Structure 1
Amino acid sequence: MLRSLLTSLAALAGLWSLFNTAVAGEVHYDTFDSPTLGHDYPYTVYLPDHYDANAAEPYPVVYLLHGSFGNERDWLAKGNLAQTADRLIRAGHIPPAVFIMPGSRSWWVDGHNEAARSAFFNDLMPHVENQYRVGATRALRGVGGLSAGGFGALNFALEKPEMFAAAAALSPASYLPYPPSNSSAHRHPAFLDEQGNFDTALWDQLNYPAYLEAYRINVTPRPSAEESDIPIVPLYISAGRSDVYDAEFHARQLRQAMERIQPNDVRLDLYPGGHTWRVWRASLPAALTFMFQHIGKGPINQ
């Protein structure tokens, strides 16, 4: 009887193991030569289980940006991206998708140290779309990021709404009017001028308020039209309630600014915790689920 029980338990354990590994994406680390940067551009890629390079239809793709002084491995090593994507795909909350996690020495801006923004659009995206079977149209693209990566993802979506179907900004370092004194922006080479001082004029030029009016005009229907030529970019925002950079306050400011333009397409979630991976890991499933309510929902040729 005991042997029978042990056999049954082993069988159940095998089934549980099979269930848990039935959907498991692959992760690869790669680089390519970036003409814009003048050096190799590193990135990490997550490919869904049974990824097919010759699939009839392209896969949705989400670009996830790391934070200040981070790198292309952060989302995988600290953010549990692979496990989260596996779980959401297995549960049917998101479709099989490709995730690209690039590395940058900047705040995803064309700053004083490198042209990170230009390299993203001119080098990384064309490389990814040539290398992998991913969507090359707005309907199949999303962009997200944490902290400085949230700053970058937000700016990318506002500047180029014709390129992204949804965006997510987790604890975005999109501070108004300027970063708090304890923010790494004050010592990051992206924002330090030749004298080593924080460049307030550059911050004004690159922070999200600089993009809002052009974005509003782009996504607002003309008087003679029911819809605008460029749809709005639905935005997910999260922040920790104990964030040392007061991210909750700045996230609320961002939500208010965006709701004036797209009142039904902004979501803000607040989590216990600070400016930490605990908060970003907790909010990642909600962020991806939100984004995939919009990614892949329209005509894939748009």
Structure 2
Amino acid sequence: MRIACWGVILVFLLAACGGSVPPAASPAVVSPAPSLTLLGATGISPSPSPTLQASPTSMPVSTPTPCPERQGHFEDGEMDSRLMDRPLYYRIYLPPCFDARSDTAYPVLILLHGQSYRADQWERLGMGAAADALIAAGQMRPFVILLPEEWNTGIAQRESPYGRALVEELLPFVESHYGLCRERACRAVGGLSRGAAWALDLAFEHPDLFSAVGAHSLAPYYGQETHLRQIILSHPETVFPRVYLDTGRADRYRAEAISVEEMFTRLSVPHEWYFNEGLHDEAYWQAHVPAYLRWYTRDWLP
């Protein structure tokens, strides 16, 4: 008690004489306990500590270089086919600014020509120009169109090695040479007339390879409907590619095409069916090229 009184007197004297009072010792800093967030009836949990964020930097973000080209181009190609015992010739559409060495994995659309025609049939019908327009408008990512040539269209299709050569030899060849995507979702196949029959066989025999198949003005070979039915019935759990069927009302093979469509309906195979005005000729196919291409590529958005 006496010590405390002397301390008060000392402070009074120092203040009266203009002196300064020495500061009191700073107390030890004690971090507050973390606040608690109620979790309902089950318990409590500490609130998370605030996250420190670095100040933004001025480092530029890289962006893809815009493609200055507005048109793709077609090239000739061929490969030696062991199955066909001769070279397999093809045409191939490469999109604007195509670069096989880039990191881009290009989707591929395989289109098969009709009987007595050659690999350039789809090219003459305007498929390349339609692809250019879609890509230039930003409605579609760049993709490749492969146009194989069937050397002998007079041989019965069940006796021809052409189908096997396309799947086992040509497809792996172009995938490795042109930097193509190798996933099912990146591949579609279609054809017209005899090529439509080939396309259906390839897609249903290899549903793991193709995500879509188009059969335009289908001219099925003898026994094809039975062949497809057996595949479908023997693989009830298989997810087959999505299917596009169309033919002209005056097409000379319309009865056969309708029969295949009705078989798909009976077996509950999902498909799209278009019965249009027109003949079994190039004027009909050319008129529908834009619709075909939009359907094939609808999952290949930019």
In the superposition, the TM-score normalised over structure 2's length comes to 0.71
Counterpart Cα distance in 1 of 2:268 and 2:181: 25
Letter in 2 for 1:209: T
Residue 273 (structure 2) aligns with: 268
Counterpart Cα distance in 2 of 1:260 and 1:285: 30
Q: Find the partner of 1:40 among 81, 87, 90.
A: 87
Residue 14 (structure 1) aligns with: none
Counterpart Cα distance in 1 of 2:300 and 2:204: 16
CA offsets 1:235-279 (integer angstroms, 9 cap, x no match): 111111211x232x333222222233445x311223322111111
Residue 116 (structure 1) aligns with: 162
Is the 8 Å Cα contact of residues 140 and 297 (structure 2) preserved in structure 1?
yes
Listed as ranges, the matches of 1:46-125 within 5 Å are 46-77=93-124, 79-107=125-153, 111-112=158-159, 114-125=160-171
Residue 282 (structure 2) aligns with: 277
Asked if residue 214 in structure 1 is aligned to residue 222 in structure 2, the reply is no
Structure 1 runs (4+) greater than 3 angstroms displaced: 91-94, 106-112, 260-263, 294-297
In the superposition, the TM-score normalised over structure 1's length comes to 0.71
Asked if residue 23 in structure 1 is aligned to residue 70 in structure 2, the reply is yes
Listed as ranges, the matches of 1:253-264 within 5 Å are 253-262=259-268
Counterpart Cα distance in 2 of 1:150 and 1:91: 29
Asked if residue 237 in structure 1 is aligned to residue 242 in structure 2, the reply is no
Listed as ranges, the matches of 1:139-158 within 5 Å are 139-158=185-204
Residue 227 (structure 1) aligns with: none
Compute the displacement of 1:288 (Å). 2.0
Compute the displacement of 1:106 (Å). 4.1
Letter in 2 for 1:233: P
- Identical counterparts, % of pairs: 28
Q: Secondary structure at the match of 1:153?
A: helix
Counterpart Cα distance in 1 of 2:119 and 2:193: 14
Counterpart Cα distance in 1 of 2:226 and 2:139: 33
Counterpart Cα distance in 1 of 2:206 and 2:232: 8
Structure 1, unmatched stretches of 5+, are 1-20, 176-202, 222-229, 298-302
Compute the displacement of 1:111 (Å). 4.6
Compute the displacement of 1:154 (Å). 0.9
Change (3 A) 1:87 1:209: farther
Is the 8 Å Cα contact of residues 73 and 96 (structure 2) preserved in structure 1?
yes
Compute the displacement of 1:22 (Å). 5.0
Counterpart Cα distance in 2 of 1:95 and 1:251: 32
Listed as ranges, the matches of 1:128-207 within 5 Å are 128-174=174-220, 203-204=222-223, 207=224
Q: Secondary structure at the match of 1:256?
A: helix
Over the aligned positions, Cα root-mean-square deviation in angstroms equals 2.4
Is the 8 Å Cα contact of residues 139 and 301 (structure 2) preserved in structure 1?
no
Letter in 2 for 1:27: F
Q: Secondary structure at the match of 2:213?
A: strand
Counterpart Cα distance in 2 of 1:135 and 1:288: 18
Higher relative contact order (CA 8 A, sep 6+): 1
